[in-house]
Amino acid sequence: MRDEILKLEKAVLKLDLKEKRRASFNASIVNYLNEFIDNLSESKGFENDFSSSKEIFSTPFNDNGYPIDEILQLFNRAVNSNGIQPASGAHIGYIPGGGIPAAAYGDFIAAMTNKYSGIYYANPGAVNIENHLLNWFAEIFGFNKDSYGGNLTTGGSIANLIAIVAARDKYNIKGKDYHKTVIYGSEQMHHCLHKAIRISGLSECIYREIPLESSFHININELKKQLEIDAQMGLNPFLIIGSAGTTDTGVIDDLDSLRNLADKFNCWFHVDAAYGGFFYMLDEYKEKFIGIDQADSLVIDPHKGMFLPYGSGAILVKEKEDLLRTNYYLANYMKDAYAGHEHLSPADLSPELSRNFRGLRLWLPLLFHGKQIFKDALREKLLLTNYIYKAFEKLNYIELGPSPELTVFTFRFFSLKEEQSCFNQKLLDAIHKDGRIFISSTTIDNELWLRVAVLSFRTHLKEIDLLIEMVEKHFTNAINS
- Across the chain, mean pLDDT equals 95
Whether residue 335 has pLDDT greater than 70: no
Query: Inter-axis angle of helices 420-434 and 461-480, to 10 degrees?
Result: 130
Q: How far is 357 from 397, CA to CA, in rounded Å? A: 50
CA distances from 189 to 186, 256, 464 (A): 5, 17, 28
Question: Which residue type, as a one-letter code, is found at position 250?
Answer: G
Distances (CA, A) of 450 to 3, 183, 188: 67, 30, 16
Comparing 42-51, 189-198, 255-264, the range with the smallest average pLDDT is: 42-51
Distance between CA 35 and CA 55 in Å, rounded?
22
| Residue 190 one-letter amino acid | H
- The count of other CB atoms within 10 Å of the CB of residue 39 is 9
In the structure, what pLDDT confidence band is assigned to residue 336 with cuts at 50, 70 and 90? low
- pLDDT-derived band of residue 480, with 50, 70 and 90 as boundaries? confident
Long-range contacts, 29-36 (Cβ 8 Å, 24+): 29/68, 29/72, 32/72, 32/76, 36/80, 36/87
Distance from first CA to last CA of the chain, Å, rounded? 78
Mean pLDDT to the nearest integer, 338-354:
80
Residue 332 has pLDDT above 80, yes or no: no
Does this model's pTM top 0.75? My answer is: yes
Residue 98: CA count within 13 A, CB half-sphere: 25
pLDDT digits (tens, 9 = 90+) for 89-112: 999 999 988 899 999 999 999 999
131-186 residue pLDDT tens: 999 999 999 999 999 999 999 999 999 999 999 999 999 999 999 999 999 999 99
Mean pLDDT of 15-22: 93
Residue 157: alpha-carbon gap to chain centroid: 8
Largest CA distance in the chain: 83
How many CB atoms within 10 Å of residue 346? 26
As a whole number of angstroms, the distance between CA 220 and CA 239 comes to 15
Q: 341 falls in which pLDDT band (50, 70, 90)?
A: very low
Q: Summarize pLDDT for 412-423 with one digit per residue, the tens.
A: 999 877 899 999
Single-letter code of the amino acid located at 339: A
**The pLDDT of residue 357:** 97
- Give the integer Cα–Cα distance in Å for 279 and 302: 11
Q: Is 443 helix (H, G, I), strand (E, B) or coil?
A: strand
Q: Residue 340: which region, alpha, beta or left (left: phi > 0; alpha: psi -120 to 50)?
A: left
Helix (H, G, I), strand (E, B) or coil at 444: strand
pLDDT band at 342 (very low <50, low <70, confident <90, very high): low
Phi, psi (degrees; rounded to nearest 5) at 40: -65, -40
Residue by residue, DSSP assigns 76-134 as HHHTTTSEE-TTSTTB-SS------HHHHHHHHHHHHHT---S-TTT-HHHHHHHHHHH
Cβ neighbourhood burial of 67 (10 Å; 0-12, 13-18, 19+): exposed
Model confidence at 220: pLDDT above 90: yes
Number of residues in the chain: 481
Least reliable range by pLDDT among 255-264, 303-312, 327-336 = 327-336
> Residue 338: pLDDT above 60?
no
pLDDT at 337 over 80: no
Q: For the segment 24-40, what is each residue's pLDDT rounded down to a tens digit?
A: 999 999 999 999 999 99
